[in-house]
Amino acid sequence: MNYANTTRQQIEAELERWRATLATNEARVIEKRMEFETVISISLAEIQKAKSQIGGLEAELARREAADAIEPTVSDHALLRYMERLYGIDIEACKKAILTDNVEKAIRAGASAVKSSIKVFMKTENYRHAVCSY
Predicted confidence band at 26 (pLDDT cuts at 50, 70, 90)? very high
Instruction: Report pLDDT for 16.
Output: 97
At 118 the pLDDT is: 62
Please say if the pLDDT value at position 134 is more than 50. no
Query: How far is the first Cα of the chain from the last one, in angstroms, to the nearest whole number?
Result: 111
Helix (H, G, I), strand (E, B) or coil at 43: helix
Q: How confident is the model at residue 11 (pLDDT cuts 50, 70, 90)?
A: very high
Q: Is 62 exposed, middle or buried (0-12, 13-18, 19+ CB in 10 A)?
A: exposed
Q: How many whole angstroms separate alpha carbon 63 and alpha carbon 84?
A: 36
pLDDT digits (tens, 9 = 90+) for 78-126: 999 999 999 999 988 888 888 888 888 888 888 877 776 665 555 545 5
Residue 41 or residue 116, greater confidence = 41
Q: Whole-model pTM?
A: 0.44
Tens digit of each residue's pLDDT (9 = 90 or more) over 44-61 = 999 999 999 999 999 999
Residue ranges of domains in the chain: 1-71, 76-133
pLDDT score for 1: 72
Mean pLDDT (the chain, rounded): 86
Give the three-state DSSP class for 41: helix
The pLDDT value recorded for residue 109 is 87
* CA 121 – CA 113 distance, rounded (Å): 5
Output the DSSP codes for 82-131: HHHHHS---HHHHHHHHS-HHHHHHHHHT-SEEESSSEEEE-SSTT--EE
Nearest-angstrom CA–CA distance, 48 and 54: 10
